[in-house]
Chains A and B, each alone.
Chain A
């Protein structure tokens, strides 16, 4: 065997390796450039292979005719297989999304399933952050049976989640009896401030129903929700370690929203000036406008206190829609 032929065989091996390597990369990443590489390597490989073995064109054509007769059957089987695989993949994705949506926001799960991996890190984004807290619940829960507390909270979280997710919001976390939600991340929501305010109003309305049921069981006791909303830039993304990550939102915008929630009395929604400026003018009249001093801020903040009563018109219009 001469040296040229040996070199040729090594080259042919590397080209075949290129075919397989590109095909495997395409299978993993679904990137078109790998498919192109497969085609190019295949062309090169077939050309080299035929040259290496000095096969006459006629012999090749004879074999090709036999192979061609199987093409329709092969194509049908391949098509069927690909379709089945697509359906299986889709079903698998839906199963994963449905399962993990109970732990993480469905928007986040959907994004992760689409991406196929979790990148730790975040990016700056304009968001609206909403914080809620049940006033007086901690002290009252001491008088209640633990099962009753859990039932009440589950009912409250269930309705809050439904309301927030309906307006494309993302539940960031439940902290005791408090809820933290983000709007405009990961799902783009152009009217994120209004979506947050509407969610807050609906949550207040829904809590009235829950409170009525609670009063029947505990005469003389009453509960209410205080909500704080703020808009601004924050870092949104996956924060944590390689083995445990949390999709969350970090920044001064979040801290301020939390502080505003602390200023809201039962039944009130305290909205920052930044959020209120993003709302359609005059659509959500405040019950009062005031300046509040919050921890970590040197200057008092101008806030707009909304209530069900002050925004009844907006809620009515929403229901008619």
Chain B
């Protein structure tokens, strides 16, 4: 969970204990949490479709970031990059998105009766997720200065692109 709050040592710990099972767990957990319907008007089929897109999209984002980092000179092994970056993302979704989402709904919608403010608060949460993923990519790549920042920005942008794609797919369904 500490990875959600930018703990480099936790990221190293994840890299040291990386495995395929752990990667699948992180992918599945993120996909399920993020595709969970908030207003229950969406069908189960839609939720499953979103989960599948997220599962594959997140994996693709991590693979692309790793490839870019290798092209820029990183020597990090795939396993040591793939698992920690996804672990950090899952941690940020679980430790930040979920509680803030609940807080947004409870405090602003129910207590203050102004859903706009809840939406405002919640609108910043995905950015936190993008940034955590980007930061994890930068740290795991082991690249310094501009190359490291480039990998971080690419990682964050890829997750944003995935969110945007998900929105487009949901609207076309």
A53 proximity list for chain B (CB < 8 A): 119-120, 123
* Residue contact A59 to B135, C-beta cutoff 8 Å: no
Interface of B is mostly: helix
Instruction: Give the residues in chain A near B135, CB-CB below 8 Å.
Output: 17, 20-21, 24
Within 8 A of B (CB), among A24-57: 24, 49, 52-53, 55-56
Contact of A20 among B6, B119, B123 (CB under 8 A): B6
Interface centre among B108, B128, B160 (most CB of A within 10 A): B160
Stretch in contact with the other chain, from A6-14, A97-105, A178-186: A6-14
Is B167 a contact partner of A13 (Cβ separation < 8 A)? no
Contact of B167 among A1, A52, A55, A56 (CB under 8 A): A1
B119 touches A13 (CB 8 A): no
6 extra A-B contacts, CB within 8 A, seeds A13-B160, A16-B127:
A1-B168, A9-B164, A20-B131, A24-B6, A62-B112, A63-B117
**B127 in contact with A59 (CB, 8 Å):** no
B123/A9 in contact, CB under 8 A: no
Contact pick for B156, options A6, A17, A52, A55, CB 8 Å: A17
Bound CA span A236–B122, Å? 57
A-B CB contact pairs (8 Å), 26 listed: A1-B167, A1-B168, A10-B157, A10-B160, A13-B131, A13-B156, A13-B160, A14-B156, A16-B131, A16-B156, A17-B135, A17-B156, A19-B131, A20-B6, A20-B131, A49-B123, A49-B124, A52-B123, A53-B123, A55-B116, A59-B114, A59-B117, A62-B112, A62-B114, A63-B117, A63-B120
Please, which residues of chain B bring their CB within 8 A of the CB of A56? 116
Which residues of chain A are near B134, meaning CB under 8 Å? 17
* Contact across chains for B152 and A62 when beta carbons are under 8 A apart: no
Question: Are the C-beta atoms of A55 and B164 separated by less than 8 Å?
Answer: no
CB within 8 Å of B: which A140-199 residues = none
Whole-angstrom distance between the Cβ of B55 and the nearest chain A Cβ: 22
Interface positions, chain B 123-145, Cβ under 8 Å from A, are: 123-124, 127-128, 130-131, 134-135
Interface residues of B in 86-140 (CB under 8 A from A): 108, 112, 114, 116-117, 119-121, 123-124, 127-128, 130-131, 134-135
* Most B-side CB within 10 Å, residue of A13, A53, A59, A63: A13
Which residue in B108, B112, B157 is a CB contact (below 8 Å) of A13? B157
Q: Give me the interface of B with A, judged by CB distance under 8 Å.
A: 6, 108, 112, 114, 116-117, 119-121, 123-124, 127-128, 130-131, 134-135, 149, 152-153, 156-157, 160, 164, 167-168
B96 → chain A closest CB, angstroms: 12
The reply on A66 being an interface residue by CB < 8 A is: yes
| Distance between Cα atoms of A17 and B164 in the complex (Å) | 18
Tally of A interface residues using CB under 8 Å: 23
User: Is the pair A66, B112 in contact by a Cβ cutoff of 8 Å?
Assistant: yes
Interface of A, secondary structure class, is: helix
In the assembled complex, the CB of B173 is this many whole angstroms from the nearest CB of chain A, namely 15
- State A10–B160 Cα separation when bound (angstroms): 7
Contacting pair A13 B130 (CB below 8 A): yes
Q: When chains A and B are docked, how far (Å) is the Cα of A185 from the Cα of B112?
A: 65
Q: Which residues of A contact B130 (CB under 8 A)?
A: 13, 16-17
B160 touches A9 (CB 8 A): yes
Chain B: which residue is nearest A27 at the CB level?
B6
Task: Give A5 Cβ to nearest chain B Cβ, in Å.
Answer: 10
Pairs of residues from A and B, 5 with the lowest C-beta to C-beta distance, nearest first: A16-B127, A63-B117, A13-B160, A20-B131, A13-B130
Q: Is the CB of A21 within 8 A of B149?
A: yes
B105 to chain A, nearest CB (A): 15
- C-alpha spacing A19/B135, complex, angstroms: 11
Residues from chain B with a CB closer than 8 A to the CB of A17 are 130-131, 134-135, 152-153, 156
Smallest CB–CB gap between B23 and chain A, Å? 24
Residues of A near B168 (CB, < 8 A) are: 1
Please tell me if the beta carbons of B127 and A12 are within 8 angstroms of each other in the complex: yes
Q: How far is the CB of B17 from chain A (nearest CB, A)?
A: 23
| Nearest Cβ on chain B to A120's Cβ, whole angstroms | 19
Roughly how many angstroms separate A49 CA and B124 CA in the complex, as a whole number? 8
Residues of B contacting A9 with CB < 8 Å?
A: 160, 164
Closest chain B residue to A50, Cβ basis? B120
Residue among A1, A9, A24, A59 with the highest chain B CB neighbour number at 10 A? A9
Bound CA span A244–B123, Å: 51
In whole angstroms, what is the CA distance A53 to B131 when docked? 19
Determine whether the beta carbon of A59 is less than 8 Å from that of B120.
Answer: yes
Residues from chain A with Cβ under 8 Å of B112 in the complex: 62, 66
